[in-house]
Amino acid sequence: MTDYKFLKPYTFAKKGITVKNRIVIPPMTEEMSFSNGEVTADELRYYHMHSGGAGMFITATANVNSLGKGFEGELSVADDKFIPSLSKLAEAMHKDGTKAILQIFSAGRMSSTAILRGQQPVSASAVKATRNNSETPRELSETEVEQTIKDFGQATKRAILAGFDGVEIHGANTYLIQQFFSPHSNRRSDKWGGSVEKRMTFPLAVVDEVQSAIDKYADKPFLMGYRISPEEIEEPGIRFDDTLKLIDALKEKPIDYLHVSMGDVWRKSLNDKSVTVPLNLTIKQHLGDLPLIGVGDIQTPADAEKVLDEGIDFAAIGRESLREPHWVQKVIAGDEKAIRYTISPADHEELGLYGTFWDFLITAFHNGLQLSSEPHTVDDRKKFNSTLDHIFGGGK
Ligand SMILES: Cc1cc2nc3c(=O)[nH]c(=O)nc-3n(C[C@H](O)[C@H](O)[C@H](O)COP(=O)(O)O)c2cc1C
């Protein structure tokens, strides 16, 4: 069957940009960049091998300044010197019409003195995360906050010059932008903190700065997406009502899509067990015509079609795209039986999951990979997905 809704093109109304289908590869850090953040040849091979099927491919997150680095081997867009190698990355991702989106971020308190080579991590306030081995960050000064916002604009300029089709602002997964929105990590009493509205000041200022860079430097339509984590489990922490307020504010801004980070696209509330409707469906109602990307354990064509059937505009396939680089091509060829849902450790090089990426995967995501060499049950899968929700939302 090849008349799936997810194979139909989509045109972003504000920009007139058409993507060839509704399948997205979500951002996945691969820890394969050089230690200074420059793209490596292995990275180019991985992206080229996995591109060509999905309508949009979003890169691993890239830091907008040196204090924003959160992982070893992380991409960087913090300096003009990276533009030539980022151009090669955009080119590798542009296979067969796939649109290339650069995800931009600062890790804030989710970094460490070791990763920052002796510098203390920074955040909205000097409050450490509730995870083991977290370090207490240093509160950013007002001047530094203003500079960080400008760094997001500069990163956008570099993405435009490198030939990307858009940027995704990483406001999710407990990193700096979420830290400003969260009452756990933002205890400021200046204009950047306080009420839920004031905690939105930094995220919305980043959106405005990114838009100014687009207005100034893009000579063709350029997308701006925004990624959120809808809830935190910390007390105090982001609750779903706060997120709906943020979404209402984002709707007034010129963003092209919202991307909701979850381990299970049908997840309900982490905090309020009386909620019976999946958060994504409530979010879609709030968004109206603004497109939504749903993600979280979408594996089969039927899984992706259900996402579209329920009114969500795009289905993002993360870990499954690592196991099966030709997922879309096999669906189009009517060869769904050939789609791989497990991964053999012996195949990791053939799949472009080189050295440090593979090490990262089998360390941090072991139980969520579906290794053919190890038994796994649906329960294991669900358990791992809920761990992902905690990792990517907040809490231990
Ligand atoms: C190896 C790996 C790295 C990830 N890195 C990022 C990242 O850089 N930025 C981000 O927003 N999410 C990141 N995520 C989360 C994914 O984008 C996605 O939301 C998550 O894997 C759930 O989707 P899936 O079930 O289809 O894998 C990462 C996930 C994995 C597995």
Read off the pLDDT of residues 295-325 as tens digits, 9 standing for 90 and up: 999 999 999 999 999 999 999 999 999 999 9
- Any residues with CB less than 8 A from the CB of 206 and at least 6 apart, and which? 149, 152, 169, 171, 177
Q: Which residues does a 6 A CB cutoff place in the pocket of ligand 1?
A: 26-29, 60-61, 103, 170, 172-173, 227, 261, 263, 295-298, 317-320, 361, 365, 388
pLDDT band at 393, cuts 50/70/90? confident
Q: Is 161 exposed, middle or buried (0-12, 13-18, 19+ CB in 10 A)?
A: middle
Instruction: Give the model confidence (pLDDT) of 25-42 as tens digits.
Output: 999 999 999 999 999 999
Q: Specify the residue for token string 């096999």.
A: 330
**Position 388 pLDDT exceeds 90:** no
47, 175, 257, 354: the catalytic one is 175
Residue 377 CB coordination number (10 Å): 8
| Cα-to-centroid distance, 368 and ligand 1 (Å) | 11
Counting atoms of ligand 1 from 1, which one is nearest the CA of 173? 11
- Full domain range(s) for residue 57: 5-392
pLDDT band with cut points at 50, 70 and 90 for residue 359: very high
Atom of ligand 1 nearest to the CA of 227: 11
CA of 28 to the centre of ligand 1 (A): 5
Ligand 1 centroid distance, CA of 354 (Å): 17
Ligand 1 atom 19 nearest Cα: 261
Count of the separate structural domains present in the chain: 1
Name the nearest CA neighbour of 7 among 26, 20, 24, 25: 20
**Average pLDDT for 151-169:** 99
Q: How confident is the model at residue 395 (pLDDT cuts 50, 70, 90)?
A: low
pLDDT band at 217 (very low <50, low <70, confident <90, very high): very high
Distance CA 317, CA 354 (A): 20
Q: Tell whether the model's pLDDT for residue 364 goes beyond 90.
A: yes
User: Atom 13 of ligand 1 has which residue's CA nearest to it?
Assistant: 28
CATH code, domain carrying 174: 3.20.20.70
* Among 6, 25, 28, residue to substitute to test ligand 1 (most atoms within 8 Å of Cβ): 28
Instruction: Identify the CA nearest to 37 among candidates 4, 70, 2.
Output: 70
For residue 388, report the distance from its CA to the centre of ligand 1, in Å: 9
In the prediction, which pLDDT does 394 show? 72
pLDDT of 189 reads 98
pLDDT at position 201, please?
Answer: 98
Is residue 47 among the annotated active site residues? no
Separation of CA 23 and ligand 1 centre (Å)? 15
